[in-house]
A and B are shown apart, each in its own frame.
Chain A
Amino acid sequence: MRKDKLVAALLQAIALSALAGLMIITVFIFKEGLPLIFRTGLKDFFFSADWEPGKGNFGIMSMIIGSLAVTLGAMLIGGTLGLGMAIVLTQFCPPKLASLIKPTIELLAGIPSVVYGFMGVVTLVPIIRNYLGGPGLSVLAASIVLGIMVLPTVTSISIDALKAVPRSYWEGSVALGATRWQTTHMLMLKAARSGIVAAIILGMGRALGETMAVIMVAGNALEVPGSVLDPVRTLTSNIALEMGYASGEHREALFATGVTLFAVIMIFNTIALSFARRTIRQGRGQ
Chain B
Amino acid sequence: MNPKIETKKLNLFYGNFHSLMDISISIPAQSITAIIGPSGCGKSTLLRCFNRMNELIPEVKIEGQILLDGEDIHKPGTNLIRLRRRVGMVFQRPNPFPLSIAENITYGLRVHGTPEGQKPADIVEKSLRGTLLWDEVKDNLNGPALALSAEQQQRLCISRVLAIEPEILLMDEPCSALDPIATDHIEDLMRDLAQKYTIIIVTHNMQQASRVSSYSAFMLMGELIEFGRTSRIFKNPGDTRTESYISGRYG
Give A186 to B110 CA distance when docked, in angstroms: 9
Question: Is B108 within 8 A of A168, CB to CB?
Answer: no
Q: A176-B160, A177-B164, A186-B110 are in contact. Are A282 and B98 (CB under 8 A)?
A: yes
Known: A177-B164, A187-B97. A172 touches B53 (CB 8 A): no
**How long is the Cα–Cα vector from A60 to B88 in the complex, in angstroms?**
61
| Contact (Cβ within 8 A) A177 B58 | no
Please indicate the chain B residues that have their CB under 8 angstroms from the CB of A175 in the complex: 51, 53, 84, 88-89, 91
Interchain CB contact under 8 A, A177 and B84: yes
Say yes or no: A172 contacts B157, CB within 8 Å. yes
Q: Please give the distance in Å from B191's CB to the nearest CB on chain A.
A: 23
> Across the two chains, which residue of chain B brings its CB closest to A183?
B111
What A residues does B99 contact at CB under 8 A?
187, 190
Closest to B92 in A: A168
Determine how close the nearest CB of chain B comes to the CB of A10; give it in whole angstroms.
Answer: 45
Partner of B95, one of A169, A177, A190, A282: A169
Shortest distance from the beta carbon of A54 to any chain B beta carbon, whole Å: 58
A18 to B53, CA, bound (A): 52
Q: Do A174 and B95 touch across chains, with their CB atoms under 8 A apart? A: no
CA distance A59 to B99 in the complex (A): 47
Asked if B164 and A166 make an inter-chain contact with CB atoms under 8 angstroms apart, the answer reads no
Cross-chain contact A178 with B111 (CB below 8 angstroms): yes
Interface size class for chain A?
20 to 34
* Residues of B with C-beta under 8 A to A187: 97, 99, 107
Chain A residue numbers with a CB within 8 Å of B112 are 177
- Assess whether A177 is in contact with B93, with CB atoms less than 8 Å apart: no
Beta-carbon contact of A176 and B111 below 8 Å:
yes
Is the pair A190, B107 in contact by a Cβ cutoff of 8 Å? Answer: no
Which residues of chain B from 49 to 88 have a CB within 8 Å of any chain A CB? 51, 53, 56, 58, 80-85, 88
**CB-based nearest B residue for A180:** B56
CB-CB under 8 A from B56, the residues of chain A are 174
User: Residue B161 at the A interface, CB < 8 A?
Assistant: yes
- For the complex, give the distance between the alpha carbons of A169 and B58 in Å: 19
A177: chain B residues within 8 A (beta carbon): 80-85, 108, 111-112, 164
A178 cross-chain contacts in B, Cβ below 8 A: 107, 111
A179 x B53 contact (CB < 8 A):
no
Asked if A172 and B95 make an inter-chain contact with CB atoms under 8 angstroms apart, the answer reads: yes
Take A176-B88, A177-B84, A177-B164 as given contacts and tell me if A171 and B95 are in contact as well, using a CB distance cutoff of 8 Å: yes
Interface flag for A90 (CB, 8 Å): no
Q: Please, how many angstroms separate the alpha-carbon atoms of A173 and B157 in the complex?
A: 11
Q: Does A94 contact B (CB under 8 A)?
A: yes
Check if A169 sits within 8 Å of B98, measured CB to CB. yes
Q: Is the CB of B146 within 8 A of A285?
A: yes
CB-CB under 8 A from A169, the residues of chain B are 95, 97-98
**Judging by beta carbons under 8 Å apart, are A191 and B84 in contact?**
no
Tell me whether A191 and B53 are in contact (CB under 8 A).
no
Q: With the chains together, A190 CA to B96 CA distance in Å?
A: 13
Q: Is A182 an interface residue (CB 8 A)?
A: yes
Most buried by A among B84, B93, B96, B107: B107
Shortest CB-to-CB span from B48 to chain A, Å, is: 9
| B108 cross-chain contacts in A, Cβ below 8 A | 176-177
Tell whether A172 pairs with B91 under 8 Å between CB atoms, given A177-B84, A179-B81, A191-B97. yes
Among A94, A171, A175, A285, max chain B CB count under 10 A is at A175
Which of A95, A172, A174: most chain B Cβ within 10 A?
A172
The answer to whether residues A94 and B58 also contact, given A166-B95, A282-B98 and a CB cut-off of 8 A, is: yes
Docked Cα-Cα span, A282 to B145, in Å, equals: 12
Residues on B with C-beta less than 8 A from A182 are: 110-111
Max chain A Cβ within 10 angstroms of own Cβ: one of B53, B84, B98, B160: B98
Interface string of B21-59 (1 = CB under 8 A from A): 000000000000000000000000000000101001010
CB contacts (< 8 Å) of B97 on chain A: these are 169, 172-173, 187, 191
A227 to B15, CA, bound (A): 58
A-B contact pairs, 30 of them (CB 8 A): A94-B58, A168-B95, A169-B95, A169-B98, A172-B91, A172-B95, A172-B96, A172-B160, A173-B97, A174-B56, A175-B51, A175-B53, A175-B84, A175-B88, A175-B89, A176-B85, A176-B88, A176-B160, A176-B164, A177-B83, A177-B108, A177-B111, A177-B112, A178-B107, A179-B111, A182-B110, A186-B107, A186-B110, A190-B99, A285-B146
Give the 3 A-B residue pairs with the shortest CB-CB distance, closest first.
Answer: A177-B84, A168-B95, A175-B89
| Further pairs besides A172-B91, A174-B56, A177-B108: 16, Cβ < 8 Å | A166-B95, A169-B97, A169-B98, A171-B53, A171-B95, A173-B107, A175-B91, A176-B84, A176-B88, A176-B108, A177-B80, A177-B112, A177-B164, A179-B81, A179-B111, A282-B98
B-to-A contact residues, CB < 8 Å: 51, 53, 56, 58, 80-85, 88-89, 91, 93, 95-99, 107-108, 110-112, 146, 157, 160-161, 164
